[in-house]
Amino acid sequence: MYYPSGLRKSIAIARKDLRVYYGKGPVVIFGILLPFFFFFSFLIGRDMPPLSLISGLGGMAIWFTATSISPVIAPMETRTRTLERLVSMPISVTEMLMGDILASMTMGAVLSAIPISIIAVILNLNPVNFFPLALGIVVASFCFSTIGVLMSALPTDTPSDVIMLALLIKFPVVFVSGVFIPAGNLPGWGKLISRFSPLTYFVKLVRVSFGGTGQPWMNLGILTLFAVFFLLFAVFVHKRTLPKRL
C-alpha cells in the first residue's frame, strides 16, 4: 500500500529528478520545439482544420515531454551507482518509481499546457470543456510518464540502449494515434491499433475540449485506466529487473 510517508519519499525523489535531469536539452527540444516545428510544417501551405492542428500539437507536446527523460533515469542512475544508494535506503520500488513519474508528470503537464495555450490564441480557439481538458493534461502526463518509466526497466546501464527502444515506440505511436491523421480516417488495421494507444484518447479529448464532437469524460476515463495499468505493469517489471542492475 502507498502510505503518506511513501508520498513524501516520492516527492523527495521527484525534486531530485527535476533538479538533476529536467534542465537538459531534450526536454526543451522534444517538449516545446519539436511540436512547434511539426505544427508550422503542417500549418504552412496546407488547409488543415484548427481542431486537428491544436489536438495534434497538444498530443505531440505532452507525449514527447513526458517520455523525454523518464526512460533514461534508471540507466543513468545504474551507471553512476546512485541506484544502489537508493535501494539501500528504506524505500520501496513503488516509491522510487512514483518519484520519477511525478517529476516527469510535472514537466509534461507544464510544458504541454504552454504550447496548447499559445496555439489556441493563434488559432482563436476557446475551450468549451476547460475542466476536462485541464484534468486530462494531468492524467495524460501521468500516464505517459508511467510508459516512460516502463521503458526504463530495461536492465542496462547504457542510456542509449533505452533511447533506441523509446524511439522505436514513441514515433510509431504518434502516427497511429490521430496526431497527423484522424483515427477515424486510418485503415482498418490502423483503427484497431489506435484503440490500444492512450495518446489517441488524449488527442480526442483535446479536440472535444475545443468544440469537437465526442464525450470528454469517456476519453478521460479511458486515459485513467491506461495510467493505472501502466503504473502497475511498470512496478511489476522493475521489481523483476532491478536485481540485474545492481
Provide the pLDDT for residue 244: 82
- Number of C-beta neighbours around residue 91 at 10 A: 17
The answer on pLDDT for 88 being more than 60 is: yes
The C-alpha torsion from 32 through 37 and 43 to 49, rounded to 10°, is -40
Complete DSSP assignment for 204-240? HHHHHHTT-SS-HHHHHHHHHHHHHHHHHHHHHHHHH
The answer on pLDDT for 138 being more than 90 is: yes
Provide the pLDDT for residue 86: 79
C-alpha cell at 22: 529536467
Q: Which residues contact 94 (CB under 8 A, 6 or more apart)?
A: 2, 6, 235
Provide the pLDDT for residue 227: 96
Complete DSSP assignment for 101-150? HHHHHHHHHHHHHHHHHHHHHHTT---SSHHHHHHHHHHHHHHHHHHHHH
- The residue-averaged pLDDT of 24-48 equals 64
CA distance 70 to 28: 14
Closest to 140 in 3D by CA, of 62, 61, 32, 73: 62
Average pLDDT over the chain, rounded to whole? 84
- Number of C-beta neighbours around residue 76 at 10 A: 18
pLDDT band for position 202 (50/70/90)? very high
The answer on pLDDT for 223 being more than 90 is: yes
CA distance 230 to 143: 7
Name which of 41-45, 134-138, 220-224 the model is least confident about: 41-45
DSSP, res 69: S
- The residue-averaged pLDDT of 179-205 equals 85
Side chain identity at residue 22, one-letter code: Y
Residue whose cell numbers read 535506503: 89
The answer on pLDDT for 147 being more than 90 is: yes
Residue whose cell numbers read 483515427: 183
Provide the pLDDT for residue 92: 87
CA distance 141 to 165: 20
